[in-house]
Structure 1
Amino acid sequence: MKNKKQVYLKLFTSTFYLSTFTFGGGFVIIPLMKKKFVDDLKWIEEEEMLNLTAIAQSSPGAVAVNASILLGYQVAGITGALVSILGTVLPPLIILSIISTFYTAFRDNIVVNAVLKAMQAGVAAVICDVVLTMGGSISKTKDTISIFVMILAFIATYVLKINVMYIILVCGVIGALRVVLIDSKKKVGDRR
């Protein structure tokens, strides 16, 4: 039982810390979750993190919360999901409560405005890191279909300016068709 308590405590403190010091939303917290839970703690594999990220992005709601729920569930079941969501949601709740109390002081403060502007550059750098890291992981698999879909999704989003929701739906259909076709080929191959 002590081991489970240690896992829950580490899960809570890790998600709480990441959520407290991460500005920029889910796309910023996900690579930090990968670094913490895949690279440092080695609780899950990198491919699992990629899959959790894809599910978190395609599910309704905040990406950081979705990723936290999935990660917590993967590591420690339903209790882990509850612990990790609590660790993820508490910091913004506390910070926003403080900011709303002193809203006018924050709004008019030149230093706070300058810090927030500087954070935008940091957020952009972290998002570029996510794209390069996860794109590199997909490229390493040498899976032609995944690479092709990744490039087309990028072009559709940033060049053709197609709504991301349509891109997610099309990618979901492609993924579903791929699973169905691969499973049917495997079943046919197994019968022979």
Structure 2
Amino acid sequence: MKSEKKHNSKLTTLTKLFLSTLYISAFTFGGGFVIITFMKRKFVDELHWIDEEEMLNLAALAQSAPGAIAVNAAILVGWRVAGFLGMIVSIIGTILPPMIILSVISFFYAEFATNLYVTFALKGMQAGVAAVILDVVFGLGSNVLKEKSILSVTILIAAFIATYFLDINVIFIILAAIMVGIMKELIYLRKEHTL
């Protein structure tokens, strides 16, 4: 009886995970940064499967790893929520809508490329994507500010300046942030060891 309840509970979790990632992927335009916002709303705020700090860490890992941010985030969230099967289910839920949409569009590409209404619709989506990305920036940035860590705030400001004013490649900013994090951990471990 317990085994059957556990199986049903796991199946319910996997179904929710699949439907959630499918829905998020199907109705999210603008790439990985946008999808992370929707994942946070679904898995942190609504389902309470992950806490906010952990979602921030998963988002950072997803951005740091090679590949599409949306798929990386789906892998990490799926693994965290339901292990290996959760990872597989969330990947399928994430990649299915773009595959279907791009397959349909590829058949009608010539018509889409020259259609004035499609062009206007895409321009409108760009404005919406910009708003959602700003929401991500403010949401994740406010979490960093809540930490009240001078180092975290300094990294946030330095990364913003380096990206937007100095036009430094994001890869170098990520590598620099990783190095600062490693140095911080080494200093912390050294202090703990000397005490």
TM-score category (smaller protein): over 0.9
Match of 1:143 in 2: 149
Give ranges in structure 1 of 5+ residues lacking alignment.
none
Cα deviation per residue 1:126-159 (whole Å; 9 max; x = unaligned)?
0111111110011011011011111001001111
Counterpart in the other structure of 1:188: 194
Pairing partner for 1:36 from 35, 39, 42? 42
CA distance in 2, matches of 1:83, 1:65: 11
Q: Which residue of 2 aligns with 1:175?
A: 181
Show the counterpart of 2:4. Answer: none
| Cα drift, residue 186 of structure 1 | 2.3
Deviations 1:8-45 (A, max 9, x none): 00000000000000010001110110000000000000
Residue correspondences, number: 189
Partner of 1:113: 119
Q: Distance in 1 between matches of 2:81 and 2:194?
A: 35
TM-score by length of 2: 0.95
Pairing of 1:31-180 with structure 2 (within 5 A): 31-180=37-186
| Whole-angstrom distance in 1 between the partners of 2:69 and 2:121 | 24
Q: Counterpart of 2:25?
A: 19
> Runs of 4 or more off by more than 3 Å in structure 1?
none
Q: One-letter code of the match for 1:55?
A: L
Provide the identity percentage: 56
Partner amino acid, structure 2, of 1:40: E
CA positional deviation for 1:7: 0.5
Supply the distance in 1 between the matched residues of 2:20 and 2:69 (Cα, whole angstroms). 17
| Backbone CA RMSD of aligned residues | 0.8
After alignment, is 99-108 or 86-95 more displaced? 99-108
Distance in 2, Cα, partners of 1:120 & 1:54: 24
